[in-house]
Structure formats: structure tokens, C-alpha cells
Amino acid sequence: MLLTIVVFIIILSVLVLVHEAGHFFVAKLLKIKVEEFGFGLPPRAFGIKYGETIYSINWLPIGGFVKLYGEDEAGSGSVSIKPQNLPEKDLKRAYFSRPKWQKTAVIIAGVIMNFLLAVVILSYLYSAVGVPVPNNKVVVVEVLKNSPAEKVGIVAGDTIEKVKGTSITSTSQLIKLVDHLAGTQIPILIKTQNGKEIVLNITPRKNYPKNQGPMGVAISPGTDIKRYPWYEAPFVGTKEALNETWLIVNGLVMLTTQILTRGAVPQDVAGPVGIAQLTGTVVSIGFNAVLSFVALLSLNLAIVNILPFPALDGGRLLFIAIEAVTRRKVDPVLESYIHTVGMAILLALIALITVHDLLRIFSGQPIIPK
């Protein structure tokens, strides 16, 4: 339990810090004054000022933040004085005084960093660990008790190479062939996990218990582990990140539709509590599974943040777009209020999903249904 909590906090902190690092580095590159780059959330434990920026460690060890000078012209951010009262040298360094393209660059940098983190992780996994690819083989994944397969010595992990001289290349082919030969003794060529090939004589059943099949085995398509060279892995990793992004977008559309039309959270949606519980499951599998999980969460964070909703990065981009189209500046106070309302709605949604997670936990249901 303790390990799960620690790993969950580390994962969340890494994802948020990578996101905030994007804002930080682009702001520095554009010479926008960065007042503070904090690890964790306030209150502040301690901080070190290096140059014009305070690098702080905060008491709540979850995520981080970047505090830009003049981030909110209305005064709810790091600047509470009106633009006209700022000295010229300070006005040039303030975020709100910068052209729209620079504001946009600072905002989208966080999303891009989260996407790149996912690409880097996936590229590593594709290169160093590999990915399973179909190999036109049929593998036994389970042997049922007192079945014909168990009686002749077939075990989970065996590969079925041939049935009565016919090479087996798919699960559907094997099922069709065995059904046709049921009731007669037939030779099958088995390749064991240690590479040894043996011929076994088996008599598939014509009559068998429900959901068992003639031989009494569960089968799946075989796979090989393919590792991509280092120079090819980034392209494959980027493609996979884009595919996952598309699936996440579809999932968010379904989530929004179901909440608005049914007033219910879909069963396959997890909030902070659900993600924490999933973290425990992933940790039990191994380090590579944790990395894959981090990549998926990083993509989720990128997509959610770019949504055109107040309080999110996408919401701030929306106001920049409105100003660009109308050529009129949005009232800073009004924008601040809208972002505040947006944050309240987001917190309410998180609370709703969290309650949903807790109800599933107390009822003994899995967070993500099988």
C-alpha cells in the first residue's frame, strides 16, 4: 500500500513537473520573467533564488507550478498593478504584455512536453523491451481439467503446429478443423516452450461441457517480441502516441456525452482514486508496465489540458483566439471570473468521478471492468 502511494505521488509529480517545465523553458527563452518554479504545491517549505527566479520546494508533494510575472492582468495572478502603472522595463517582461504568438507558445509548451514524454517512453519500450507482434502461430493459454488435451499431456504455453498434417496458422482455422475431426483420433504436432516438437494422438469430443470445446483448451494467436532499432523507435513511438491520443479523445467525447445525457459516469472511467489503485496493479507487474502507464497518463494530461475549457491551457488559448478574431481585448476581470468558474466545475467533476471510484471499491468491483 505504501509503495503504491509513493509511486503514485512520484508519477503525478513527474507528469506535472514535465508539463510546467514546458511553460518554464519557453517563458525563459522568450525572456518573460519567471518569478517562481515550484516543486509540489504551497505552502512553501523553502526556496532558493537563482537569478530572478525562486526555485521552491513546497509542503504538498504533488506536481508543481510556474509563476509568471504578469500572468494575470486582472490581478489574481502574480501581478496586481494595472499595466499603465508598470515601469517600462517591467512591462516588457510581463506575460500579459507579450504578443499573442508568444502567449500561445508558452501555453502549448506544457502540452507538447507531456506528449514528448510519452513519445520518449514509448520509443524506449519499443527499442529496449520490444512489442509483441503476431507470428501466425496458435498458443495454448489454458488446459481444462479432465479434458482430452490434459489426458494426452498438452500444457499451457505449448504451440499447436499441425493437426493431421495440416499446418495451423490461426485460431479460427484450428477451431474449424478440430470441430470437423471431432470423435476421431488425430495426430497433432506440438512445440513445447523449450522448443521440443512432439506428436500427440488426441480424440476431440463431439459432446463437451459448455464453453470448453472439443479438446478442452483455451487458445490465442501467437506473438513474437519485436525490438525496433534506436533510429526507428522514435517514429514508431510517435505513431503509437498519436494512436493513443485518438483513443483518448474518443473516450473523452463518450464521457462528456454520457454525463450530459444520462447524468452518470461511464464504468471504464477512473479518477484520482481509481488511478491510484491502478498504479498498485501496474507496480505489481513490473517497471516496464509502470513506464507504459506513465506514457498513457502523460497523453491523458496533454489532451485534457488542451481542451477549450476555462481554467485549462486550452481555455486560455480560446481567449487568445477570441481576441485574435474580434481584435478586441477581453476584459481581464471577466476572463479571471470565467476561469474561476471553470475550475469550480472541474473540481466538481473530479469529485463526482472520485465518488464513483469509491463506490466501486466498497462494492468490490474493479476500477476498470474487464
Final residue of a domain: which of 169, 199, 226? 226
> Nearest 10 degrees: CA dihedral of 177, 141, 139, 241?
120
284 lies in some domain? yes
- The C-alpha atoms of residue 240 and residue 51 are separated, in whole angstroms, by 40
Answer for the pair 82, 273: CB distance below 8 angstroms, yes or no: no
Interacting residues of 132 by C-beta distance below 8 A, sequence separation 6+ = 223, 224, 225, 226
Residues 28, 55 within the same domain: yes
Residues 183, 242 within the same domain: no
Gyration radius (Cα) of the chain, Å:
28
Residues 51, 102 within the same domain: yes
pLDDT at res. 370: 45
Does the predicted TM-score (pTM) go above 0.75?
A: yes
Give how many domains the chain has, as a whole number: 2
**Three-class SS string for 218-270?**
EEEEEEEEECCCCCCHHHHHHHHHHHHHHHHHHHHHHHHHHHHHHCCCCCCCC
Closest CA to 247 of 295, 209, 311: 295
DSSP state of 87: -
Q: Give the count of alpha carbons within 13 A of 220, CB side only.
A: 11
pLDDT at res. 66: 92
Residues 108, 251 within the same domain: yes
367 lies in some domain? no
Tell me the three state secondary structure of residue 107. Answer: helix
Residues 246, 269 within the same domain: yes
Residues 221, 272 within the same domain: no
Interacting residues of 222 by C-beta distance below 8 A, sequence separation 6+ = 134, 135, 136, 137, 138, 139, 159
Residues 6, 111 within the same domain: yes
101 lies in some domain? yes
Residues 214, 309 within the same domain: no
Enclosing domain of residue 74: 2-129+231-362
Looking at residue 142, which CATH number applies to its domain? 2.30.42.10
The cell numbers describing 243, all together, are 494512436
What is the CA 139 to chain-centroid distance, rounded?
29
pLDDT at res. 274: 76
Answer for the pair 85, 60: CB distance below 8 angstroms, yes or no: no
Q: Encode the chain (370 residues) as per-residue pLDDT tens digits.
A: 778 888 888 898 899 899 999 999 999 999 999 999 998 888 899 999 999 999 999 988 777 889 999 886 544 444 444 555 556 667 888 888 889 999 999 999 999 999 999 999 999 999 999 988 888 899 999 999 889 999 999 999 999 999 998 999 999 999 999 999 999 999 999 999 888 999 999 999 988 888 788 999 999 998 888 999 999 999 999 999 999 999 888 888 877 777 677 766 566 666 677 788 788 888 888 899 999 999 999 999 999 899 888 888 999 999 999 988 988 888 888 888 898 898 888 888 778 777 777 777 677 665 554 4
Strand-pair category, 186-191 with 166-167: unpaired
pLDDT at res. 343: 85
Residues 8, 72 within the same domain: yes
Residues 106, 185 within the same domain: no
Residues 207, 176 within the same domain: yes
Taking residue 312's Cβ as centre, other Cβ atoms within 10 Å add up to: 20
Final residue of a domain: which of 193, 226, 259? 226
Closest CA to 66 of 18, 10, 11: 18
Taking residue 347's Cβ as centre, other Cβ atoms within 10 Å add up to: 11
Residues 119, 20 within the same domain: yes
Answer for the pair 41, 58: CB distance below 8 angstroms, yes or no: yes
Final residue of a domain: which of 196, 226, 256? 226
- The C-alpha atoms of residue 83 and residue 88 are separated, in whole angstroms, by 10
- The C-alpha atoms of residue 18 and residue 117 are separated, in whole angstroms, by 8
327 lies in some domain? yes
